[in-house]
Chains A and B, each alone.
Chain A
Amino acid sequence: MTLLFVALLALFALAVVGVAARRSPWVGTAVYGGTATACGLIGLWAVGALVGRDGAVAAVLPIGVPWIGVHLRADGVSAFFLLVVALGGVTASLFGWGYERAHEQAADHSGVHSGGESGPVLPFFPLFLAGMSLVLLANDAFSFLVSWEFMSLTSWLLVLSTHRDPDTPDAARLYLMMAVLGTLCLLLAFGLLVGTGGDYRFDAIRQHPPEAGAAALVVLLMVLGAGSKAGLVPLHVWLPLAHPAAPSHVSALMSGVMTKVAVYALVRVLFDLLGEPVWWWGGALMAAGAVTAVMGVLYALMQDDVKRLLACSTIENIGVILIALGLALVFKASHTPVIAALALSAALLHVVNHSLFKSLLFFVAGAILTATGTRDLNRLGGLIHRMPTTAVLALIGAAAISALPPLNGFVGEWLLFQAILNAPALPEWSLKIGIAVVGAAVALAAALAAACFVRLYGIAFLGRPRSAEAGRAGEVGRAMLAGMAIPAALCVALGVLPTFVIRLFEPAVRAMVQAGPFDDRSYQPWIWLAPTSAIGNSYNGLILLGMIAALSVALVLAIHRWASDRVRRSIAWGCGHDGDDPAALSQYSASSFAQPIRRAFGGTVFNARDRVEMPEPGDTRPARLTVCWTDPAWAFLFTPVRRAVNWLADHADALQFLTIRSYLTLMFAALVVVLTLVAVVRS
């Protein structure tokens, strides 16, 4: 654990360096290089802890509140999530280093040097990573909540580093409010967990889990508290605003990694601290996850901003992870631990997968932003010709997140479906039927995600450029490409050899559900994924990839040997627009691509309408088509709440100007009410 502490201290020290040496030219290199190294160490330690399987290690630090101290403990689950944080940290540091240098150079060229845009990012970047690691290590409620707040505040400051953008302050304010709300829920949840004993250590909570009523309340509060951080619909409203507002490598960390820390909080409390689960906890989690998954991807399909689209797709993936967690809880409650382990493995695998491809895609968005200066899909296009390497890496990311075999996204989805197919083993009727519906929701979300990423990739990278900036774009630097290449390579590796990583985090699964996903199989060849108790279900990404490669090569050779291999280049039929269509208006745009889906799904969910303004015959003004839609989360929840709060504030204002007699009367009335309450409760 010494290695871990050294790395964490190094992260704090790097923040000091970031502040102290903010004027020197090497500070970016030092901070990002140091952060990458520290995260690398954390990752190595985590892998060592998972492979070694030597149980949990714990430590008490004599800092913090005097009579409590800071209790830290790393078991399999913590080590697994630390690995996710560390992976995200390494790639984000690498990418961020190149990203900020590119932006500084661009600022130098254009002459508008704003005094070091990277200045505000550097100190908080390592602190953010340290905060997330501390949440994963905390072993008492107090240090957990302090680290949680630390993580929220550092990420909030990172969002604010782009405060010159007009949208950022509003996004940051909303984020802060939702973060405060989330922490409030967590605070109450831990208060209930601790109970009247007052022992804040997780070990003590684990030994005396709360009784049924309090446990139900804890589940509810945890889902609200951690869910608001993870992007649970309808508490997600801050996420598509705040995640994209930060610099791209920070967006990658917030979307790819910080949401996973929230998942960790759920796993820790629901599987570990609360003891034996009740079936409806999982049912509630699955229902929330299903709504989140479908709504998230529909939101993503409505977005025209690359980074906002990615943030919405994070909501979808969190929904999928919550469904898997809910399934694991349900099976744990019904005492089928092997299937619970299967579902939990699906959840954890999706945690790694999503952190990889979402980081990758946010880096791609950052690369696009660097090369073109815009995030608007309707101003992009044709980047496959101008950014060839980025285009290949982006294609891997888009295919992986669309759950296409043989990449990693599919393996997670496959495992989840295998768990879903075990629903008939459950005793509760509502769950059997409910899980069938949840399965349909997962399938719908996956299919819509594929549409969403065909749209993203097709509009941004394919076709003709939709603006002059997109036409002038050039490939980004090596550091940024390397930052993208690492997660892309891991996406392929995890898809082809998933059993390695599932074996790697088996200690985490075992710690939570007391079984491993491969337990009921006596023989487990290393490249075959065949975990369930049902017969004959298996998947092999390696053979699939090998077959696709071999057949493709054979096909190419055969066709070029025996068929024609002549090629002629010609202009494509552009509906009469050739030559006089510099903005590529005859080409499909992001909004037009989404139109069929908007019409099929958005009409009911978002009240989406296409309004056409057709000028009179003879009028030469162009016709206009406006797409308008309303966000149900705002329309039905947040706007009414805001109105109610404003109304309350306005009317509470009157209380400020009362006479002393009225105040005394009010206090007396309050006293009487409290005493009556106490009397009622006591009797």
Chain B
Amino acid sequence: MIAAVIHQVLHMALVLALAPLLTGWVRLVKSRLVGRRGASVLQPYRDLARLLRKEVVLADNASWLFRSVPYVMFTAIWLAAGLVPVFTTDLALAPTGDLIALIALLGTARFFLALAGMDTGTSFGGIGSSREMMIAALAEPAMLMVVFSVAVLVRTTSLAEIAVYMMGGTVGLRVSLALALIALVMVAIAENARIPIDNPATHLELTMVHEAMVLEYSGRHLALIEGAAMLKLLLYAAVIACVFAPWGMATPTQGSLWIGLLSFLAKLAAAGAALALFETSIAKMRVFRVGEFLGGALLLSLLGAIFLYVSRGV
């Protein structure tokens, strides 16, 4: 029990510390892929530190909601990240919430951020919020269907139990797991506002989603929101690693924490590089094609669940 609490504290600190590094790594790989030198992987830390030192400029009619949302959102995502095992499955908070609770916590963060986007009453905030909710309306069911297909196989929605089961090696290669993986990656791309759904580097009004929603934020509030976005990217990488590639992770009974940690770093590096490669090789799509993209993810995940019945007869 004590070990689980210590692991949990270490884990929360680790995800917090690693999140900007992952974003910096993705940016660096992307720069190298298009032939630029790129900024150091530490640049996101510097950006956040600079934002934290700056003053906040609030719109005249911004309410208390606008000021509290960055904290609520950051906390919800941080807590959600705290539920995903990365180096060990022995976490104190693991029984507090399963994958469904994790998805709902991310939903809470999105709900409040979308509200904050509408608080100042500008058109940009409204554009961002309404598009974000449309994307979420398709991404969330797709993710839940991924959970469904995994749970049909593993008989649990607890991330720690899933990781243990998957490491047991009784699952083997399965078509439905591959479909679920593709669907989950598609959802992760959409939820993290990456190309081809959204472009984190753009400020062109017709294509913005996430950036439009947070346009009115500045200073420490913006730092929190950017930090939360980085945490969310790490969280999705960790979920994918935990469900589909949990190898190396320590469990309460066996495995070493150091191996768990190193393997997690290696998985993050691979995920970041893969994301950068994918983003440089594809163009951004129109906002109204997003429905087709995510509808595809939803169907793939549903198909994964149905294949599972056909292939195994569970």
Contact = CB atoms under 8 A, between A and B. Distances in A.
Interface of A: 381-382, 384-385, 395, 399, 402-405, 410, 413-414, 417-418, 420-421, 423-424, 429, 432-433, 436-437, 439-440, 443-444, 446-448, 450-451, 454-455, 457-459, 462-464, 528, 530, 534-540, 543-544, 547-548, 551-552, 555-556, 559, 562-575, 584, 586-588, 592-597, 599-600
Given A382-B61, A587-B126, A447 B140 contact: yes
Contacts of B302: 436-437, 440
Interface stretch (B67-75, B234-242, B257-265, B268-276): B67-75
A464 B121 contact: yes
A568 B126 contact: no
Contacts of B160: 536
Interface of B: 52-65, 71-72, 74-76, 78-79, 82, 93, 95-98, 100-101, 104-105, 107-108, 110-111, 114-115, 117-127, 129-131, 133-134, 136-141, 144-145, 148, 151-152, 155-158, 160-161, 216, 219-220, 223-224, 287-288, 291, 298, 302, 305-306, 309, 314
A539 B64 CA distance: 30
B123 A563 contact: no
Q: Looking at chain A's contact residues, is the secondary structure mostly helix, strand, loop, or mixed?
A: helix
26 contacts: A402-B111, A404-B107, A410-B101, A414-B100, A417-B100, A424-B152, A424-B309, A429-B309, A439-B144, A440-B148, A458-B115, A459-B118, A535-B156, A536-B95, A547-B96, A548-B75, A551-B78, A555-B74, A559-B71, A570-B59, A572-B61, A572-B216, A573-B122, A588-B125, A588-B130, A596-B134
B75 A552 contact: yes
Contacts of A528: 95
Given A443-B140, A454-B114, A543-B96, A536 B156 contact: yes
A436 B302 CA distance: 7
B223 A563 contact: yes
Given A451-B136, A451-B137, A463-B119, A552 B111 contact: no
Nearest to A405: B104
Contacts of B93: 543, 547
A571 B306 contact: no
Given A417-B100, A443-B145, 7 more contacts: A403-B107, A444-B141, A454-B129, A462-B115, A534-B151, A570-B57, A600-B137
Given A405-B108, A555-B71, A382 B121 contact: yes
Contacts of A575: 122-123
B166 to A, nearest CB: 13
Contacts of B219: 564, 566
B125 A537 contact: no
Contacts of A451: 133-134, 136-137
Given A405-B105, A548-B75, A587-B122, A592 B130 contact: yes
Contacts of B54: 564
Contact of A405 (B52, B56, B97): B97
Contacts of A556: 71
Contacts of A443: 140-141, 144-145
A167 B20 CA distance: 57
B95 A405 contact: no
B174 to A, nearest CB: 15
Given A552-B71, A563-B220, A568 B58 contact: yes
A568 B55 contact: yes
A223 to B, nearest CB: 25
Nearest to A444: B141
Contacts of B107: 402-404, 447, 450
A507 B101 CA distance: 28
B97 A436 contact: no
Nearest to A420: B148
Nearest to A457: B115
A572 B220 contact: no
A404 B136 CA distance: 14
Contacts of A536: 95, 98, 156, 158, 160-161
B71 A440 contact: no
A450 B211 CA distance: 20
B309 A537 contact: no
Contact of B96 (A403, A414, A540, A552): A540
A534 B97 contact: no
A564 B108 CA distance: 27
A539 B98 contact: yes
A534 B104 contact: no
A396 to B, nearest CB: 12
Given A447-B140, A464-B61, A572 B120 contact: yes
Contact of B155 (A530, A534, A551, A593): A534
Contact of A548 (B58, B76, B98): B76
A115 B111 CA distance: 44
